[in-house]
Amino acid sequence: MPTQHASPSPATTLAIFCKVVDNFGDIGICWRLSRQLASERGITVTLWVDDLGSFKRICPRLDSEAATQTVEGVTVRHWTDQDGQFAPEDVADIVIEFFAVDIPPGYVEAMARREPRPVWLNLEGLTAEDWVEGCHTLPSMHPRLPLTKHFYFPGFNARTGGLPREGGLLAERDAFQADPVNAARFLAGLGVTPGEMAATKVSLFCYPHAPVSALLDAWRDGGSAVTCLVPEGVAREAVQAFLGGDAHAGAARTQGALTVRVLPFVPQSDYDRLLWACDVNFVRGEDSFVRAQWAGKPFVWHIYPQDENLHHKKLRAFLDVYAPDLPSLVALSLRWNGASPAGGEDAADLAHLWQAMHADVERLVEHAAAWEARMLEIGDLANNLLEFARSPR
């Protein structure tokens, strides 16, 4: 007999379980999704998170010591006890495990005792690989309990769940970008000087193994002025070497054509504005990768590393979909991720790749707008997910 699921009403409750692996990407996605479902769809959301310290970096209002709290309409619970006891009434109508985390066994047992059963979704990581389309929404029966879990994949076409995007995001972006005075005021609030704003502004967010020193050398020795804006703690060794001192928020130094300025780590909404204000964005992981796509600016993605370089396959799958006719972006992206063919691994090579991509900036901006239109046709992840959860199965 098939498992009977709840048919969520407008008063739906939803729980998301998140374990922080990639510092800010995991919690960044779950936090955006939680807020959107609560504010736009009236869902009662509980977000379970194991690492409140990382969470607080992107949400300063959070109390990293509180076991339970409400922030921006979302109940946040510190996930510390895998073996806690739960009653069926503790279980939400929709239960989401992010990226195959193990929900507390006691909670799963309570899910099985709840009538009707909750909708159980495994929200997977974002990838452009072909196999995702065949796995999206596939069911998986629990081996022991009368529960069925469905795999749910964000993605880049209508055979997936689409990308995370709040309802008013693009209107807010357009208003910000249409007002250069407001954008300049925002950058000035981060310590950026008028002279630095006049240069090509690049935001830099990457993992420690990125070839940052070679990129900084390429910008320093280049023919046009570049201002690199890097959040505190990112690429610390390379940034400190360039600065000749501690890479604390507010530190800055100019060498040759390059100025590097260290920014404070900002809340998610201000990070969005940083992406909107810059000319090119280097982003990493999943959350900032998606936000760069909604910024409407050229971007270079630093993908989360996996054993045996499996992430290179994932990177190439995305580039095949996003940039089949943009060889300059593809070449720099592969080099940035250590996925280039053998050879050409010095600063001079990186300088050449940067110059080629920078020469294509206008074309890349046009492409970003066309890509955005394609993604809008799919619908956004939160609403697609909720529609699936409320559909009969």
The yes-or-no answer to whether 13-162+378-390 and 169-376 have a common fold is yes
**How confident is residue 308, by pLDDT bands cut at 50, 70 and 90?**
confident
Pairwise pLDDT comparison (166 vs 20), residue with the higher score: 166
Task: Give the span between the Cα atoms of 43 and 14, in whole angstroms.
Answer: 7
In the chain, the amino acid numbered 349 is D
The CATH architecture of the domain made up of 169-376 is 3-Layer(aba) Sandwich (3.40)
In the chain, where the domains are located:
13-162+378-390, 169-376
- Predicted confidence at residue 3, as pLDDT, reads 45
**Mean pLDDT along residues 374-386:** 97
Is the Cβ–Cβ distance between 268 and 59 less than 8 Å?
yes
User: Which amino acids are annotated catalytic?
Assistant: 26, 286
Closest CA to 356 of 195, 222, 158, 180: 222
Q: Which residues pair with 257 in a beta bridge?
A: none
User: Which tens digit of pLDDT belongs to each residue from 243-298?
Assistant: 999 999 999 999 999 999 999 989 999 999 999 999 999 999 999 999 999 999 99
- Predicted confidence at residue 81, as pLDDT, reads 73
- Predicted confidence at residue 309, as pLDDT, reads 87
Over its C-alpha atoms, the chain yields an Rg (Å, rounded) of: 22
Using alpha carbons only, give the angle 387, 389, 393 rounded to the nearest 5 degrees: 105
For residue 7, pLDDT beyond 70: no
- Predicted confidence at residue 23, as pLDDT, reads 60
Provide the 3-class DSSP secondary structure of residue 7: coil
Report pTM: 0.93
Structural fold of domain 13-162+378-390: Rossmann fold (3.40.50)
